[in-house]
């Protein structure tokens, strides 16, 4: 039921604070803090949770009296103070939460989590994880523990792909520079040398001289 308290939790190794906000029905599309939906993440207003020395964070969200409608919301847990439109360089996790008048169902971030850091040049290279667009380099993203296929591409460069494994509480890094696609070397042109008139004339002159010598000998 709307008005209950739900617990959001996860891991964020290397971070000290997690910034929380949500999007959903009748809310600002850039996100609003969990504790007060009338504020805007775009104005620097966030709900925060401290990260423990073990890399874990937890936030108890009281949904009572904050004016939320029944519906499905997306909670963003981000390692820096940026709204939904500025997540390019952030590491973050989304948590779908459905609020109902008869109860609450939620997918909590209590599963084992790690992170992937992709530092591939040129920056702005496209990153796909298991065939799905994940962002552009440099990219940091939280992922559930497991194996993933990562493909990186950029116009004018040879694409690169590899398989990675994400471990709980650790960051897996990909560092690489894509190779430019070389332009094909043009084939050398063959130059045709025209016949030299002087050379042809010289041959005729020699033939004529030989004939003249022969005539002289016969006389």
Residues 72 and 146 in one domain: no
Q: What is the CATH number of the domain that holds 154?
A: 2.60.40.10
Residues 36 and 100 in one domain: yes
Q: Which of 116, 120, 118 is nearest to 147 (CA)?
A: 116
Q: Are 132 and 148 in contact (CB under 8 A)?
A: no
Tell me if 219 is assigned to some domain: no
Tell me if 216 is assigned to some domain: no
pLDDT tens, per residue, the chain with 219 residues:
677 888 888 888 888 999 999 999 999 999 999 999 999 999 999 999 999 888 888 999 998 889 888 888 889 999 999 999 999 888 888 888 888 875 444 444 445 778 888 999 999 999 999 888 988 898 888 888 888 899 999 999 999 999 988 888 788 899 999 999 987 777 666 666 666 555 444 444 343 444 343 444 444
Tell me if 210 is assigned to some domain: no
Tell me if 173 is assigned to some domain: yes
| CA contacts within 13 A on the Cβ side of 143 | 24
Q: Which of 147, 150, 116 is nearest to 130 (CA)?
A: 150
Residue 102, domain extent = 5-106
Q: Domain boundary at 106, 140, 157, which? A: 106
Tokens (6 digits) for 182: 């070389």
Residues 30 and 94 in one domain: yes
Residues 65 and 157 in one domain: no
> What was the pLDDT predicted at 191?
63
Residue 22 bridge partners (DSSP)? 32, 75
Tell me if 132 is assigned to some domain: yes
> What was the pLDDT predicted at 78?
93
Tell me if 71 is assigned to some domain: yes
Residues 160 and 97 in one domain: no
Residues 11 and 87 in one domain: yes
Q: Domain boundary at 106, 136, 155, which? A: 106
Dist CA 146 CA 148 (whole Å)? 7
Q: Domain boundary at 88, 106, 124, which? A: 106
Residues 64 and 94 in one domain: yes
> What was the pLDDT predicted at 192?
62
> What was the pLDDT predicted at 40?
97
Residues 63 and 94 in one domain: yes
> What was the pLDDT predicted at 45?
97
Residues 125 and 86 in one domain: no
Pairing of strands 139-144, 113-121: antiparallel
Residues 88 and 132 in one domain: no
Q: Which of 73, 2, 16, 74 is nearest to 48 (CA)?
A: 16
> What was the pLDDT predicted at 104?
46
Residues 96 and 122 in one domain: no
Tell me if 150 is assigned to some domain: yes
> What was the pLDDT predicted at 177?
95
Q: What is the pTM of this model?
A: 0.50
Q: What is the CATH number of the domain that holds 97?
A: 2.60.40
Tokens (6 digits) for 47: 């709900």
Residues 88 and 10 in one domain: yes
Q: What φ, ψ does residue 126 adopt, rounded to 5°?
A: -80, 135
Domain count, the chain: 2
> What was the pLDDT predicted at 178?
96
Tell me if 217 is assigned to some domain: no
């Amino acid at each position: 039921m709307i008005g209950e308290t739900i617990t959001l939790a996860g891991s964020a190794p290397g971070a000290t604070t997690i910034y929380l906000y949500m999007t959903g029905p009748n809310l600002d599309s850039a996100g609003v803090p969990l504790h007060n939906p009338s504020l805007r993440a775009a104005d620097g207003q966030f709900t925060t949770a401290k990260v423990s020395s073990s890399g874990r964070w937890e936030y108890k969200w009281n949904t009572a009296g904050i004016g939320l409608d029944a519906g499905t919301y997306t909670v963003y847990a981000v390692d820096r103070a940026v709204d939904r439109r500025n997540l390019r360089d952030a590491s973050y996790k989304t948590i779908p939460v459905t609020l109902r008048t008869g109860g609450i169902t939620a997918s909590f971030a209590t599963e084992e989590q790690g992170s992937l850091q992709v530092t591939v040049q040129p920056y702005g290279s496209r990153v796909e994880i298991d065939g799905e667009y994940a962002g552009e380099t440099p990219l940091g993203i939280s992922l559930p523990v497991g194996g993933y296929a990562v493909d990186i591409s950029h116009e004018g460069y040879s694409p690169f792909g590899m398989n990675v494994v994400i471990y709980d509480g650790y960051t897996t890094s990909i560092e690489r520079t894509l190779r430019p696609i070389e332009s094909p070397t043009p084939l050398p042109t063959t130059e045709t040398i025209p016949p030299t008139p002087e050379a042809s004339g010289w041959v005729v002159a020699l033939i004529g001289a030989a004939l003249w010598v022969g005539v002289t000998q016969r006389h």
